[in-house]
Structure 1
Amino acid sequence: MNKCLLSFVIAIMLLVASLRAYGQYRDSIQIPVHDPVMIQEKDSFYLFATGRGISVWKSSDMQTWTRQNPVFEQATDWMKKIVPDFKNHIWAPDISHHNGFYYLYYSISAFGKNTSAIGLAKNSTLDENSPDYEWEDLGMVIQSVPGRDNWNAIDPNLVIDREGVAWLSFGSFWDGVKMVRLADDLKTVQNGKDDWFTIARRKRTYELNDRSPGDGAIEAPFIFEKEGYYYLFVSFDYCCKGAESTYKIVVGRSDKVQGPYFDRNGEPMQNGGGSLVVEGDDKWYGVGHNAALTFEEKDYLIFHGYEAKDNGRSKLLIRQISWDQDGWPSVSLVQE
C-alpha cells in the first residue's frame, strides 16, 4: 500500500472513529429541559418540565419533539400569594393518569428557601387540538413555610400502592424527602400519625435550621414499582450550576411504599444511603432529577444532564434501565 493510500485509509478510520465516538453520546433530541417527566397518550409522548407555566413537548417517537403551549399562561392568584413576586416559572412537574384524568402536580418556590408549595391540575386529554383539552387548576396541595417547617414542598411524585392508596413523595435538602398519604381525590393531605414519613435524607456536617436548606443535598424523589419492590430514586448533590454541577442519581428499595428504603449494601436511605444509578462524566457534568417509566415493556430513565460541549446547558436524556441479577438498576450515559 503506497503512502498516499495509507494516509487516506488512516484519515477515513479516524473520521469513522470520531463519528462513532460522537454517536455514542448523540441524543435523540437536544431540547433544553430541567426536571423532565413523560407520559404516553395513544400514539404520542408528552414531556413536562420546569419552565414558564410548565414547559410541554410532544413526540411520536421520543426523538423528535415539538413544543406545545405551556400549562399555565400566567400565574394564578394563589401562586402569587404563596411566593411574592412569582414570575410563573414552575418547577418539577409530575404527570400520571387515573380515573379518566391526567393529574399534574407541580412546584412553586423561592429559590434556596422553603417558601414553597405543591399544586395540582387535571385534564381529560393532553392533545391540545382536542375540543376537550382544558387544564383545570385544583389549587394548592401542600405548603412549606420558613420558621414553621423543617422540610420543603417541592419535587412531587405520586404513587399508588398495591392496595390502591395514593401517596405523594416530595422534598429537598432540609430534613430530607417526605411522603404523605392522600385521600381518594388525590389532593387532600391526610394528617394522622401513620400518614407522614421521612423516606430519605443526607448526612449533614452542620446543624440544620428551618430557614436554611443546609448541606444535605438531596431532592427529586421518584418511586417505581417492579417485581415486588418499590424503588426510590433520588438525586444527590448539586444541580443548576452548569460546569460546576455535581448531580447524580441514587436508589434504594423497599417492599413497602412507606419504606424503610435500603440501598444494595443495606444502608437505610433515612441515614444517607443510596446506591449509584448514574453520575456525570467528561461529557455530562452532572445528571439528575429523573422519572422512571415503562413504555412498550421497556423501563426508561428520563432525566436531565449538563452537557460539557454546550457550556453546561441542561439537556434531555432518555436511557433504558438495565437490571442486574439481584434486581438493582443502572443506566449508562452512552447511547447505543
Structure 2
Amino acid sequence: MTLRTTLTATATAALLAILPNTAQAAQSYPDPRPVTGQQIIHDPTVIRLKSGQYAAYSTGGVIGARLSKDGRHWTDAGNAFAEPPGWWYEYNDTGDPWAPDISYRAGRYWLYYAVSSWGSNHSAIGVATSRSGLPGTWTDHGKVFSSETTDHWNAIDPALIRADGRLWMSFGSYWTGIRMVELDPRTGKALTDTPVHHLATRPDTPYAVEGPYIVRHGRHYYLFASYDACCAGVNSTYKIKVGRAKDIKGPYLDSTGKPMLEGGGDLLLEGHGRFIGTGGQSVFQDKGEDWLAYHYYDAEDGGTPKLGINKLHWSKDGWPEVR
C-alpha cells in the first residue's frame, strides 16, 4: 500500500505545505519550448547568425552542428570540422572535442571548445574562426589555454564575455570549480602570465560544478553553472545555479549573499517530469531577449540528451527566472 492511498486529503495538503522544495518546487519549473527535427544535443551553444538563421554547436562528432530557420525546427548540419586538428590527439585518443562556445566580434565568429579525456585535467581549450559561422567553414588556431595534472583547475567548458573593454574566458569542471583568465582580443588566446581567477566552487569533494557561462544584465555580471552529475541518462542529477557580481572577477553571490566560492548559488532550473538532468547551459540573445539553452535527458526516450530552450525573464530585483 502506498503513502498516497493511506493519507487523507487534509493530511496530504499538510505534508505538501511543509515540503516546499520537493513536489511543489518540481512543478514550478517550466518545460522547455517545444522544438522539432533534430533534437539530440549535448552542451549546446546557440547563436543567431548575421544571415538570420540559428546555429547550435555541441559536444559530439567533431563539434556537432544544428541549423534552424526559426529557432524551433532544427536540422542536422554535420560537424564544425571535417576532421579533428592533429593537436587534439595529445589530449585523447579519438580527437573528441567537448562543450563549445560560439560568439561574434571583430567581423568573425569565434568557436571555443575543449579537448580532454574523462576524469583527467590534462586538458586544453582551443579556438577556431569563421566569417559565416556555418559548419565546414572553420579555421582552427590551436590552443588558447591548457591545464596539467599538477594544476588545481581543469581547462574545459570555455565561455567568453567582454567586460570593461577586456576579453575574458571562464572555464572549469570539478578540480576546485570555476576559473577565469583574460584573453588577448587580437588572437583570442590567453594573455601571457594571466592570473587564473577563482569564481565558484563547492566545499565538498569532488567539487561538482562546471560549465560556466557569464552574462551582463544591468549593473551585474551573472555566473550560470551546472552542478552535480551529468552524462548518466535518467540517473543524471545536473542542475543550473546562478550568482552575480558587480565586478567581472567577482565575488559572485547568491540572493542570500552567500559567495559561490563557498558553495552558494540560487537554483535556476533542475530536472522535473520527463526533463532530467538539466545543464550544460549557455545564454544567447535574440531580438533583444535572453534565452537559456541547455540539454536534458528525456525520461520518455531512454534518457536521450535533447535540446532545451527557455526564455530568461529578469525579476524586479535583477535575478533571472526561466519562463
- Report TM bin, short chain: 0.7 to 0.9
What does residue range 10-159 of structure 1 map to in structure 2 within 5 Å?
A: 27-29=34-36, 31-41=39-49, 42-83=51-92, 85=93, 87-127=94-134, 134-146=137-149, 148-159=150-161
Give the 3-state SS of the residue equivalent to 1:68 in structure 2. Answer: strand
Give the 3-state SS of the residue equivalent to 2:71 in structure 1. Answer: coil
Output the CA distance in 2 between the equivalents of 1:164 and 1:59. Answer: 32
Amino acid at match of 2:281: N
Q: Find the structure with the greater CA-based Rg.
A: 1
Q: Is the 8 A contact 2:31 2:275 kept in 1?
A: no
1:324 alignment counterpart: 315
1:305 alignment counterpart: 296
Residue 149 of structure 1: how far off its partner (Å): 0.8
Output the CA distance in 1 between the equivalents of 2:32 and 2:183. Answer: 41
Q: Is the 8 A contact 1:32 1:315 kept in 2?
A: yes
What does residue range 152-167 of structure 1 map to in structure 2 within 5 Å?
A: 152-161=154-163, 163-167=164-168
Amino acid at match of 1:38: V
Residue 294 of structure 1: how far off its partner (Å): 1.6
Matched, 1:180 2:181: yes
1:15 alignment counterpart: none
Amino acid at match of 2:218: E
Q: Is the 8 A contact 1:52 1:88 kept in 2?
A: no
Q: Is the 8 A contact 1:166 1:186 kept in 2?
A: no
1:218 alignment counterpart: 209
What does residue range 289-300 of structure 1 map to in structure 2 within 5 Å?
A: 289-300=280-291
Output the CA distance in 2 between the equivalents of 1:24 and 1:150. Answer: 37
Output the CA distance in 2 between the equivalents of 1:142 and 1:281. Answer: 36
Give the 3-state SS of the residue equivalent to 2:101 in structure 1. Answer: strand
Q: Which runs of 4+ in 1 moved over 4 A?
A: 23-26
What does residue range 279-290 of structure 1 map to in structure 2 within 5 Å?
A: 279-290=270-281
Q: Is the 8 A contact 2:57 2:66 kept in 1?
A: yes
Residue 24 of structure 1: how far off its partner (Å): 6.4
Residue 160 of structure 1: how far off its partner (Å): 0.6
Q: Is the 8 A contact 1:123 1:135 kept in 2?
A: yes
> Taking structure 2 as the reference length, what is the TM-score of the superposition?
0.86
Output the CA distance in 1 between the equivalents of 2:68 and 2:32. Answer: 20
RMSD: 1.7
Amino acid at match of 2:209: I
Output the CA distance in 2 between the equivalents of 1:271 and 1:310. Answer: 37
> Taking structure 1 as the reference length, what is the TM-score of the superposition?
0.83
Deviation per CA, 1:36-56, whole angstroms, max 9, x where unpaired?
011111210000111111001
Question: Residue 24 and residue 238 in structure 1: after superposition, are their counterparts in 2 closer, same or farther (change >3 A)?
Answer: closer
Output the CA distance in 2 between the equivalents of 1:144 and 1:251. Answer: 25
Residue 190 of structure 1: how far off its partner (Å): 2.5
Output the CA distance in 2 between the equivalents of 1:149 and 1:26. Answer: 40
Output the CA distance in 2 between the equivalents of 1:34 and 1:25. Answer: 15
Output the CA distance in 2 between the equivalents of 1:257 and 1:26. Answer: 30
Residue 79 of structure 1: how far off its partner (Å): 0.9
Output the CA distance in 1 between the equivalents of 2:116 and 2:276. Answer: 25
Deviation per CA, 1:259-307, whole angstroms, max 9, x where unpaired?
1100001000111110010100122121001111221122110001111
What runs of 5+ residues in structure 1 fail to find an aligned partner?
1-22, 205-213
Give the 3-state SS of the residue equivalent to 1:321 in structure 2. Answer: strand
**Bigger mean CA deviation after superposition, 181-190 or 270-279:** 181-190
What runs of 5+ residues in structure 2 fail to find an aligned partner?
1-29
2:5 alignment counterpart: none
Aligned-residue sequence identity (percent) comes to 39
Deviation per CA, 1:188-237, whole angstroms, max 9, x where unpaired?
323557x3200011111xxxxxxxxx421100000011111110000110
Residue 25 of structure 1: how far off its partner (Å): 6.4
Give the 3-state SS of the residue equivalent to 1:117 in structure 2. Answer: strand
What does residue range 263-282 of structure 1 map to in structure 2 within 5 Å?
A: 263-282=254-273
**Bigger mean CA deviation after superposition, 98-107 or 62-71:** 62-71
**How many residues are paired up?**
292
Output the CA distance in 2 between the equivalents of 1:88 and 1:196. Answer: 26
Give the 3-state SS of the residue equivalent to 2:261 in structure 1. Answer: helix
